[in-house]
Structure 1
Amino acid sequence: MPKNYFMKKIIFIPPKPPEPKKLKVAAYCRVSTLSPTQKRSLDWQIKSYTKMISEHPDWIFAGVFYDAGKSGLRRSGRIGLNKMLKKVAKGKIDYIITKSISRVSRDTVEVLKIVRYLRERRINMYFENENLDSIRLDKEFEITLRSMLVQDESRNISENIQWGFQRKFEKGDIFTKYKNFMGYTCVDGEIVIVSEQAEVVRKIFELYLQGLSFGQIKAYLEAMRIKTVTGNEYWDTTTIQKMLKNEKYKGDTMLQKTYTEDFMIGKKARNVGQRNQYYVANSHPAIVSGEEFDKVQVEMAKRVRLVRKADGTVESNSRKYNGKYLLGNLLVCGDCGASFRRRTERGKVVWRCAERIEKGKEVCFNSPTLNEDWIQKVLGEMVCENDVYNEDTVRNSIEKILIFESYLEICYRNEKKLNVKLF
């Protein structure tokens, strides 16, 4: 026998049985709409799961998490699901029960992400309808297959809904369930005017045609303590702009302004020719006249300062709309194309080329300085009645006034032009 030989002795150590402990069990529910029927279903599920978990001798109730009125295709905005997964990350949930795969998500990729996230933490999600345990690796293929069927079902539903919308559009059927629409509400499926709100809408259109900017209209509404349709004391200039552009205020409706690019992500895109559009005239009572609405659109286009270049393309001019001084929107340097800016020099109010003010004579050499009293006197004599300067008359009659070294060119809206020598 070799000197260093030892007889091996093997001792068998059986696995320790897991110590019995109670599982922290949660449930997840989701309903896709907030209809009374779906709300009742959600209430029943919450009560049922609460009772089931609380009465189980080996379970500790860890909560019932739910989402209502949320799409199963998108996890964003689903507060209940996200809250549950955060508790999972903190080790406060050991086991999850849910009615079906479709309740968790109708997106195959999203289902697999959630299942694998839970499996990494050794947490099982039990799908009751499918009788599947997510923790079992051998069941992942079946979960994937069933998720794909659920996703395809969602695709079919989306296509059917879009087909239904298209048929409604072709018939001129408009939507009558407006929520938070200033000036209108729906009564028994009909769009009706809300008198008090309609006055606010009319005032906004009136102020804009008087020359006020979006910011000035906002300041007026807030100063008058006029609230938004949602009851907010502060207005957004974007909201005011959208109201002024909305054809519904003249009683018409443009259908399919937007469309859904991808049913999976639900992202909507502005329809600028990708899909058919349908314009329904006289679809409901008007708040402002068609003439007033069209005037606002013309004025809005004018304030954007679109300039047509020699090659036929159109670009936005850098000159900004001046809501305080009308002349700031009319006086244009004939040399460099910049607007004129109001200044006070030696006690007199004058108008000078903004480009020359900012960059000097080297950039705009020939531009003259105009006395405000003189230019108003000229406009009173050439444009207004009784030779008296009237801002409203000038605003409605003049498109722009080009200022050259020795004369100015008054351009009327009817395309008439008139030259006047300086001084």
Structure 2
Amino acid sequence: MMKPLAGLKVLDFSTLLPGPYATMLLADLGADVVRVESPTRDDLVRNMRPQIAGQSAAFRYLNRGKRSITLDLKHADAAAVIHQLIDEYDIVVEQFRPGVMQRLGLDYTALAEVKPDLIYCSISGYGQTGAYADKAGHDINFLSLAGVASHMGRADAGPCPLGVQVADQAAGSHPAVVAILSAVIQRDRLGKGAQIDISMADNSVALQALLAPGALNGATEDSYESHFLNGSGFYDYYRTRDQRYISVGSLEPQFKQRLLETLKATELASLSDADLKVQLKEIFATEDLAVWQQRFSDVDACVEPVLTMTEAAQHPAFVSRDLIQTTADGEVQIAPAIRFDNEANELPAEAPVRGADTDLVMADAGLNNDEINNLRAAGVFG
């Protein structure tokens, strides 16, 4: 099946998580993504554990379906090489601190002179301008400054770190992909390129669609366990007898009724949400998780177990969608989650070894063997 983004070409200068996740989504949808990697400074994600065939499982997931070239961007000839490549590409994604690409001669202004319709996306912590533009940060910092962490946790313990990097992915990667594809449509209509500035901190503020608007317009600030969606009511997680957890999201009246019927506790229907929560804690603590799973398995009440990742991979909800797949070499991966025409997605090609495609990419850009060998001898490729 021809994928929707087949024909789009992306030069990816990013590392770690936000940029690679964004370009993985583009590659999953058919774009030709070429990673531009340092020959000497490794992407830290590549060295995480566990390792599979010399690269971490996380790296192999984030960089599947891509190609890789090595290029020493500080080399005097590196910018000229990129300038020669860029005419073949539609999109640049970079994740350096503001000003780095300009010092390398690879900023939007420099590359747009070579390719005026270039789409250039910069992903950074605090944006390309503003008081914090030059400041370092990580996911936990962006969520803290954006106000997210102020209502994400428990009243007696405060905020808690999340296992999913919300600012990096939901506030960095996904807006980047939306912006890039919007710019592709604009370019097709108007023939013009675009310079895209994605701030993970900005977009963390924007993610708070339900709680922030009220707070910004005079309502009492929501804190930990102060809103019905962050633990003030019975919409919450409950510990079971075997120290596992079950989630209850039975907000609507019909779901609440089915919840109480299944628990044989319909007499609790008149309690306030806070008082009902106290009773639910006691009830769920009387049985193991497996018991509650069985009782609610056929009940449409928005009650589901808190599963480990390996348990989730075996759950019928995902098995029936063919979301978890195994390669011929036995590696288990999450398949692309976006479907078209009701077709199950196949796993893309495995992530490249660093620099594996340098010669081919350079040849595609019009360099002959002598030119490639000369650049290599000069140390441009490391």
Which TM-score bucket, shorter chain as reference? Answer: under 0.3
Give the structure with the higher percent strand: 1
TM-score under structure 1 normalisation?
Answer: 0.21
Q: Which has the higher contact order (CA 8 A, sep 6+)?
A: 2
Q: Rg bigger for which structure?
A: 1
- Normalising by structure 2, report the TM-score: 0.22
